[in-house]
Amino acid sequence: MRFFIQPLVAFSMLVMLASPACSAPGDKYNDMKRFTKAYDLVLGGYVRDVDNEELMNGAIKGMLEGLDPHSTFLSKDDFKEMQEATSGEFFGIGIEISTENNQLIVVSPIEDTPADKAGLKAGDTILAVDGMPTQDMTTQEAVSKIRGPKGSPVELLIMHKEAKAPDTVTIVRDAIPLISVKARFLDDDGYLWVRLTRFNDRTTSELLEALAEQGKKASIKGIVLDLRNNPGGLFKQSVTVADAFLKKGAIVSMRGRGGKVIETHDARDSNKDVACPVVVLVNQGTASASEIVAGALQDHNRAVLIGERTFGKGSVQKIEPLGDGTAIKITIARYYTPSGRSIQAEGIVPDLEVAFEPARDGEAKPIRFFGPREKDLSRHLENGAKNKEADKDKTKEKPKLLEDATKTILEKDNQLRIALQMVRSLPKISEVHAQ
């Protein structure tokens, strides 16, 4: 998520941000005098020479990071890396991280990245990076240390959830894929699985392109929108993705200091809007922009949410360039769903809570809906109701949409199986309620 505005005079702006809302002008000037005096004392009396820019950057950094885990100072390299992460290629291991109680935690690994393949999970704690403890390390400092040249290793000391002892994991950095949408059919009846792995500059256009491409193969009867382990990304993309499933109504609002509404976003009717039944999969790794989508679809009864309570990252950060290649990221508001729920620290509770149950080694979960039906049995009795159109349909061979790899995934993913069963039943449920 990024909100760029014109560069401001950094020092005066930061002094205002640091002062309480109720402070009188005289108090602000007194605070500024105290800061200036401390700055001069360090600059002139510290035991060694101090670089002026380094000192000022440290002061800004300390002020912001005392506010919350997401407000921070971005050096020139940090600012460049943040821009690349949403619009250009960068190298790393593919995780979204945050801080909680001065500990570095994994919000979510990005699908098909080195971190994902190494077994990192949402909720894991990163205790050290290349032997350096992460206690009190800022999120941005950790990001800078974890990223690096393609092919180079980084060693992480990880405390997995439920583990009794930490585990040392060495991960080789690679290019982080920018494709954020993957789609494939879950069966031969036209029920589609759409995975959103993150929200970058092209997520909405990739979504619409994927739906159009899959729609050429067969009529899409329903969609399982998978937002599990989606750490978020660009705010505007979350709005346009939600809009693709909604014809009208609020999507999200932002409330700033004092609960003042500073921004609202509503759905717009379009002939490209998705009209079929939708089930949304969420878990602890569903955060930020993906929570906005899930909350909007849930509040409008547009989709049934299945899975586990989401991460609860419902604060809004604005990126403010400072004019010299650096920037600050500062929290300016909280997100609210259409019904007025705050996502922050609460997350989204799914309509049907289903914990993920990985299949044990050698154990394949049964997939009942792939079993034979009466019409598939040898020498089955015909229906008896024949017409020319039915005879014509017999000559048509039903396209094989289900891939073997997808069937294997379904065998191992109980949440995805339940989501498919649910999206299949939604049209019938709607018909019952309409009577």
Q: Which of 160, 143, 54 is nearest to 98 (CA)?
A: 143
Residue 352: predicted pLDDT: 97
Length of the chain (residues)? 435
Query: Which spans in 88-153 are helix H?
Result: 114-117, 139-146
Note whether 200 and 1 are within 8 A (CB): no
| Exposed/middle/buried for residue 421 (C-beta within 10 Å: 0-12, 13-18, 19+) | middle
- Residue 354 CA to residue 324 CA, distance in Å, equals 49
C-alpha distances (whole Å) from 57 to each of 14, 15, 76, 121 are 12, 14, 11, 33
Burial 321-353 (b: 16+ CB within 10 A, else e): bbeeebbbbbbbbbbbbbeebebbeebbebeee
β-pair type (250-255, 327-336): antiparallel
C-alpha distances (whole Å) from 41 to each of 34, 48, 215, 318, 325 are 11, 12, 68, 32, 27
Residue 261: predicted pLDDT: 96
β-pair type (250-255, 304-307): unpaired
Burial 374-385 (b: 16+ CB within 10 A, else e): eeeeeeeeeeee
Query: What is the secondary structure of 225-260 as a DSSP string?
Result: EE-TT---B-HHHHHHHHHTT-SSSEEEEEE-GGG-
User: CA 419, 197, 103: angle at the middle one, nearest 5?
Assistant: 105
pLDDT digits over 40-60, tens only? 999 999 999 999 999 999 999
**Helix (H/G/I), strand (E/B), else coil: 319:** strand
Residue 24: predicted pLDDT: 61
Residue 286: predicted pLDDT: 96
Q: Which of 357, 364, 355 is nearest to 408 (CA)?
A: 364
| Domains in the chain: ranges and CATH | 10-76 (no CATH), 91-175 (2.30.42.10), 181-353 (3.90.226.10)
pLDDT digits over 318-349, tens only? 899 999 999 999 999 999 999 999 999 999 99
Residue 111: predicted pLDDT: 83
Please list the active-site residues.
288, 299, 313
**Helix (H/G/I), strand (E/B), else coil: 217:** helix
Positions in the chain short of pLDDT 50:
1-22, 364-380, 390, 394-395, 432-435
Residue 114 CB neighbours (<10 A)? 22
pLDDT digits over 248-280, tens only? 999 999 999 999 999 999 999 999 899 999 999
**Alpha carbon distance, N-terminus to C-terminus of the chain:** 43
Note whether 237 and 201 are within 8 A (CB): yes
Residue 274: predicted pLDDT: 96
- Residue 250 CA to residue 267 CA, distance in Å, equals 6
- Residue 223 CA to residue 192 CA, distance in Å, equals 5
**Helix (H/G/I), strand (E/B), else coil: 333:** strand
- Residue 400 CA to residue 227 CA, distance in Å, equals 26
